[in-house]
Structure 1
Amino acid sequence: MVENIDDLDDFLVDNQSIILQSIAEDLRACLPLEAMAPSETMAVQKTSQKSLPTVHVDAFLYDEETVDSLCEVGKMSRNYCLDCASHRTAPLEFISHSFSILELQFLFQTVLPDLTGKQVIDVGSRLGAVLYGGYLYSAAAQLVGIEISSEFVKLQTMTVEKYGFSDRIQVIHADIRSQAALVQNADVLIMNNVFEYFMEPSDQMQAWQFISHNFRKKGALLVTVPSIQEAHAVLQENVSLEMLPLCQWIEEVPLDYTVYIKNDTDADSLKQIHLYRVL
């Protein structure tokens, strides 16, 4: 029995999480274990070229408990062998191009303000995790996913229709650089590991320049993983890029990551989330 408002809030949050977990189960059945589309050859190649052995584990599809279960049955591993046929092992590096359910809760319940009447755009919406999280955890008027992969657009469209989210969610099959009017009108822009693994350096530079030129609505909010400074530092290793004048365009909004730390929360993953405000 729900006895007070706090209990009701906990029940609603749990119910929302259950819906997201149901969506994740649906999508896991449609994707290989690595959750990469056949067209994502560049992302696969770049992941394999990391200095430490790295695998893609989609955080929306596979939470820590699910990863542990897969490791127990030998379908996934957290470690790699330092010497073939040896017991010497080291932890694998995991990378995700999606937010986990806990990260989505943190994003919409703590990082972002009340989104009533606002338009949210997810750049490279992939499986649609941000869209579903925004639908369930916020009152955003419209959530728009821009996705260049036709395979992922189909999966998102299927999910939106199945769960009845089409009144507030729209998925567009396009390169973000073709969506100037949409970006100019956005109140919130979300970018999670969106360019580095999926574009050549010259295209990444053009994409960042497009964002800086078009996302100019005063007070609009930009969420990035990793920070803009880190993303540009990686890019500068490959091309000669003059750092965008961040102080003239946006300012970083300090976040208190400790307010959302729970027993099952990966604090380091939350600290990868950065919030900026357009000046």
Structure 2
Amino acid sequence: MTSLTSQIPLVSADEWYEFLEAVYAEDTRRREAETEEPLAVGAVGAVGDGALEAWLEVIGGYVREELAADGGEAARGLAPGETVLHQSMGLFGECDAGNSVHIDALLFPDPADALAVAAYYEYVCAHCRRADGVRAVHIISHSLSPAEITSIVAWLDGQWAALGLPDSGAHLVDVGSRFGAVVLGAVRGLSHRGIEGIGVEANAYFAGLAGRTAARYGLADAARFVEARAESEAGLAELSSASIAVFNNVFQFFVPRDDQPEVWETVSSALKPGTLVLSHPSLELVLGELGWSPERLAEWVRPVGVINGSDGDDDDDEAEMTRMYAYVVC
């Protein structure tokens, strides 16, 4: 898809979201017709040849249409009735409802779309149509894009033995799994590893939608979704058996900041030694601003790598992708 920046109209945010939805609805129909049938579930080559990313884009299209049909906010990636908490301090303290645009990277994976919306809000005031005195916009996604998930799967596959992950029976637990794309991408791209994926999701609608998606695309035997908060008994039971635990922007916009320290205390204590932890933002940032000292963090985990890290080249595609920080529980 070509950049949409030149097509930006002077319209409201809702009208622009509707425009994006219309463009992607047509693209989804084309992709599903071209892509869904040829992709063999669990094909090893899917990690590196673009097939997994293309399949995840089909998943995103299906989820987007289901979400819109069920009364959710498809462009923003929000469930029916879901609200987002904008924190007044901490990592995302500068983000508020007036200067932030939520565009879900799974449902709208083309970076040009986010940039187009950003350009509109950065340079044009929606009230007076003036370009001066307007705050910069923050583009926020609560999902990883198909390209980002594919990159994570490829990294896991390449580092599997070095990380000491089991030859079979590994459990990947995604905390705050939302649409389930990380889980589904992992069980499809790593099926030759005998992996099971579990999504722990507090939102009942998302847990149900992810389960329906897994069934639709033939992955119900390898992927399951639990409606539970991470710190609940059910959530902790899943985390205690995790070989890999994923935390992507997991609590910052959905748990009151005052509650986050206790949640992290509980969750961190559930992970057994040797568990691989993938986090964005880094645990140094997330837990540091909640009061964890570097020494305390070092007692819990040791860093083992960065996924989607850039080498500093501005033309490097990885520079545009979300960095995931990898750790192993001590």
Superposed pair shares fold, TM > 0.5: yes
- Partners of 1:134 and 1:140 within 8 A in 2: no
- Partners of 2:87 and 2:257 within 8 A in 1: no
- Partners of 1:120 and 1:140 within 8 A in 2: no
Specify the alignment match of 1:131 in structure 2: 183
Among residues 45, 51, 60, which one is paired with 1:15 in the alignment? Answer: 51
Specify the alignment match of 2:148 in structure 1: 103
Return closer, same or farther for 1:206/1:166 CA change in 2, 3 Å cut-off.
Answer: same
Which amino acid counterpart does residue 173 of structure 1 have in structure 2? E
Specify the alignment match of 2:247 in structure 1: 191
Among residues 244, 248, 253, which one is paired with 2:304 in the alignment? Answer: 253
Question: Any idea what SS the aligned residue of 2:321 has?
Answer: helix
- Partners of 1:124 and 1:145 within 8 A in 2: yes
| Matching of residue 166 in structure 1 with residue 220 in structure 2 | yes
Alignment gaps of 5+ in structure 1:
1-7
Question: Any idea what SS the aligned residue of 1:98 has?
Answer: coil
Return closer, same or farther for 1:129/1:10 CA change in 2, 3 Å cut-off.
Answer: closer
CA–CA distance in structure 2, aligned partners of residues 62 and 155 of structure 1: 18
- Partners of 2:174 and 2:200 within 8 A in 1: yes
Which amino acid counterpart does residue 182 of structure 2 have in structure 1? V
Q: CA RMSD in A?
A: 3.1
Among residues 104, 119, 123, which one is paired with 2:171 in the alignment? Answer: 119
Calculate the TM-score normalised by the size of structure 2.
0.69
CA–CA distance in structure 2, aligned partners of residues 90 and 202 of structure 1: 27
Displacement, 1:185? 1.6
- Partners of 2:77 and 2:142 within 8 A in 1: no
- Partners of 1:192 and 1:225 within 8 A in 2: yes
- Partners of 1:79 and 1:91 within 8 A in 2: no
- Partners of 1:127 and 1:155 within 8 A in 2: yes
Among residues 34, 53, 67, which one is paired with 2:99 in the alignment? Answer: 53
Displacement, 1:16? 2.1
Specify the alignment match of 1:5 in structure 2: none
Which amino acid counterpart does residue 222 of structure 1 have in structure 2? V
Return closer, same or farther for 1:233/1:14 CA change in 2, 3 Å cut-off.
Answer: same
| Matching of residue 226 in structure 1 with residue 276 in structure 2 | no
Which amino acid counterpart does residue 130 of structure 2 have in structure 1? S
Specify the alignment match of 2:130 in structure 1: 86
Specify the alignment match of 2:76 in structure 1: 34
- Partners of 1:79 and 1:90 within 8 A in 2: no
- Partners of 1:79 and 1:92 within 8 A in 2: no
177-186 vs 146-155, which moves further = 177-186
**Aligned sequence identity (%):** 25
Return closer, same or farther for 1:11/1:276 CA change in 2, 3 Å cut-off.
Answer: closer
Calculate the TM-score normalised by the size of structure 1.
0.80
Return closer, same or farther for 1:203/1:146 CA change in 2, 3 Å cut-off.
Answer: same
Return closer, same or farther for 1:140/1:98 CA change in 2, 3 Å cut-off.
Answer: farther
Alignment gaps of 5+ in structure 2:
1-43
Specify the alignment match of 2:265 in structure 1: 209
- Partners of 1:40 and 1:198 within 8 A in 2: no
Displacement, 1:49? 6.2
Return closer, same or farther for 1:10/1:147 CA change in 2, 3 Å cut-off.
Answer: closer
| Matching of residue 25 in structure 1 with residue 76 in structure 2 | no
